[in-house]
Amino acid sequence: MHALSKIIARHANRESVEVGEIVNVTPDYVMLNDRGAARAVDLFRKMGGDKVYDPDQIVVVFDHHYPPIRQQDSVSQKRTREWIKEQGITKFHAGEGIGHVIFPEKGYAFPGALIFGTDSHTVTNSALGCLATGLGHSDIASYLALGYNWLRVPEIIRFDLHGGFKPGVCAKDIALRIAQLYGEDAAPYLGVEFAGPLVARLPMSERLVLCNMVIDFGAKSGYIQPDETTARFMTQRAPNLRWTAEATDSVSDYTRTIDLDVGEIDSLVAVPHDLSNIQSASTLSDVRIDEAIFGTCTGGRIDDFRVAASLLKGRKLAPHTRMMVNPGSREVYLQAMREGIIDTMVEAGAVVGVPSCGPCSGCHQGMLAPAENAITNASRNFRGRFGSPEANAYVASSATVVASAIAGRIASPAEFMEH
């Protein structure tokens, strides 16, 4: 069995499961974001739900519409707060950042865990060596009532990553390269494991970026085998938590393995409006950038802010370019302040917003006008995602986004690292 199968088996109270089998599982934690909570609670009641199965398994995070800008969201958040109280749910985070950034920070994600969430990017957590997957509102409502839901045991593909990065290239570029080579449906319904000597050297922040992006290849969950980096991360984040990592039995547990030399990868950009439309940043220098969108569950961690500061220090944004920054969490925000990164960003001309999903939720400051071009370290360049359907969104790494904000056009970070 693959480690992900073993995780499913354990949460189904079974010795073993077979690939393709459908089993009922009880997760360790279920994340409800503000929107997910409003919709799932509504559906939970319509299904005849009264008390949730286990309030301790539920984590509520307000990140999409927080602080609310529409009265309908204020009203629904008030209702959710009342519901949380009535249900005895104590894990509640409003204004503390994005669920997928908070989960690893607070130790809700851990090796061997099973995590559901009302959001497709729940897969981010799988970097810790767990199974983490997004579900719809009815699925979550049914779990709230019954304490379980069904999962199909997935086939697994493995990307073996090796080689060394060119200057300015990082995990995000690997994800874009996979989209380029294998398409947005590279892994439909599958588990995607990242392995190989390069992964062993990647810090947790970069592993989280890789696993965050697997949903945009169609995957059910990512996976990275827990190692010393994972153990160190857990000791820091949840020193008292006991966890058990699972391990894969044999090479026959993979339906496919793909070798990828990261040394061949340039700083890449997904051009509108599909993630598999990939070009090298250096070939797109005629694309004017009106707005850089920096943050999100893909690119809103402290390491992204450190990369931004290293490029922005002593520089200004191009006069015609604006930059919207939303830290991924309160902790990231505080740390970036302590390190002077927020100063550097604001001095360069950036605007800093609240720790939240930011413009990527489509409900926050920084929306685009028709015919404007934006570059973002978020995960998706879908039409209309950041405002006008007539705007163009380019997706790239944190380094490429910041380099482009300085240049006022799409630029490879290597241009600024050679100074």
Residues that bind another protein (rule: CB under 8 A) add up to a total of: 51
- Tell me if 47 contacts another protein by CB under 8 A: yes
Q: How far is the CB of 185 from another protein (least distance, A)?
A: 4
Interaction pattern, residues 17-36, with another protein; x per rule: CB under 8 A = -----x------------x-
| Cβ neighbourhood burial of 161 (10 Å; 0-12, 13-18, 19+) | buried
What values do phi and psi take at 265, rounded to 5? -95, 135
Judged by CB under 8 A, the chain residues 272 through 291 that form the site for another protein are 274, 276
Judged by CB under 8 A, the chain residues 309 through 368 that form the site for another protein are 361-363
- Tell me if 141 contacts another protein by CB under 8 A: yes
- Tell me if 251 contacts another protein by CB under 8 A: no
- Cβ neighbors of 342 (< 8 A, separation 6 or more) are 333, 336, 352
Candidates 18, 86, 185, 261: give the one binding another protein (CB under 8 A): 185
Candidates 126, 142, 230, 397: give the one binding another protein (CB under 8 A): 142
- Tell me if 397 contacts another protein by CB under 8 A: no
- Tell me if 45 contacts another protein by CB under 8 A: no
- 164 CB-side CA count, 13 A: 2
Spatial contact of 184 and 218, defined as CB atoms under 8 Å apart:
yes
CA distance 256 to 93: 39
The single-letter DSSP state of residue 279 is E
Q: With helix as H, strand as E and coil as C, how does 255-269 read? A: CEEEEEEHHHCCCEE
CA 169-171-177 angle, 5° bins: 80
Candidates 97, 99, 134, 366: give the one binding another protein (CB under 8 A): 134
DSSP per residue, 301-344:
SHHHHHHHHHHHTT----TT-EEEEE-SBHHHHHHHHHTTHHHH
The stretch among 5-13, 177-185, 280-288, 314-322 that binds another protein (CB under 8 A) is 177-185
Residues making contact with another protein (CB under 8 A): 22, 35, 38-39, 42-43, 46-49, 72-73, 75-76, 79, 118-120, 134-139, 141-142, 145-146, 150, 152, 183-185, 188-189, 215-216, 218-220, 274, 276, 361-363, 380, 382-385, 389
